[in-house]
Amino acid sequence: MSIRPFFSGAIRTDIPESGGGSGSNTPAYWSSSYEALSQRAYEDSTSLFWDLNNTGETPSVANSTDACLVFLNAYATEALDRVGTYDNYSDTLVKNVASHCSNTIVVIHNAGVRLVDQFVDNPNVTAIVYGHLPGQDSGRAIVSLLYGGENFSGKLPYTVAKNQSDYGEVYNHSEPSGIFSRFPQRNFSEGVYIDYRAFDAHNITPRYEFGFGLSYTTFEFSNLQINQSAPINTSPYPIGEIQQGGPQDLWDNVVTVLVDVKNTGTV
């Protein structure tokens, strides 16, 4: 087997894989994707070719290549937010590689929502992995998943839209100006209608819904039972006694859900 990984933003051994600012720390070691792939290729006696620099329209892909791995990075830290939910530089890299490789797998180490609509419908892009920020064992973790040693089981903690405008004012707010230029103000007029609530309320079809996640197998759900176990308080604010953790009726168990789950796949 021959594999060629491409790296955007340089997934190297010297980049910070932990939090920035006051959340920064130095781990005892760091497993990068490149190092973990190299070790796996050594163990399997397979061929690994890499490209850390070529983002042009003619990436070097040998005819014998079984898979191309494109690693994308997104930098964010305390006091330095990302400028948006996509990156034309990285998206162009994916499209260029996919134009020369029929089995292109995209691994995104993202610090939040990341749009993929510039390449998700490309027939040569066979998989997209939202790797997020795995920490010091990042490389070993992603390689164990890519090679099937472990099963993908993560679920998205947010909704991935098809367009950045679908998020409304959350991502498309006006910049502070005038007397508020140094002290930005926010009215939060959207209320609780953010993320999946907003998509439902405005009937917007997302690319990947909140909680979306695939694995190497399939599942069947049956015998769904929903039972109300306590009266539901519909008042606009909690009214329970305030103890550690807040008003206690925030934690009432009001519904019990039971369902039978069956593994119907081959893994």
Residues 196 and 210: their CA atoms lie apart, in Å, by 6
For the chain, 267 residues long, give each residue's pLDDT as a single digit of tens: 667 676 654 333 334 466 677 777 778 888 989 999 999 999 999 899 888 876 667 778 888 889 999 999 877 777 777 778 999 989 999 999 999 999 999 999 988 899 999 999 999 999 999 998 888 899 999 999 999 999 999 999 999 999 999 998 777 666 778 887 787 777 788 888 999 999 999 999 999 999 999 999 999 999 999 999 877 777 878 888 999 888 888 888 889 999 999 999 998
The structure tokens listed for 216 are: 């190497």
Residue at 77: amino acid letter = T
| Listed residue (55, 53, 109, 119) closest to 82, CA to CA | 109
Provide DSSP, 79-99. Answer: TB--S-S--HHHHHHHHHHHT
The structure tokens listed for 47 are: 């061929």
Distances (CA, A) of 70 to 93, 200, 220, 224: 8, 33, 32, 40
Decide if domain 2-146 falls under CATH 3.90.1300.10.
no
User: What pLDDT is stored for residue 18 in this prediction?
Assistant: 65
| Domain ranges across the chain | 2-146, 219-263
User: What pLDDT is stored for residue 120 in this prediction?
Assistant: 97
User: What pLDDT is stored for residue 6 in this prediction?
Assistant: 65
User: What pLDDT is stored for residue 30 in this prediction?
Assistant: 86
User: What pLDDT is stored for residue 196 in this prediction?
Assistant: 96
User: What pLDDT is stored for residue 17 in this prediction?
Assistant: 61
The structure tokens listed for 248 are: 């206690």
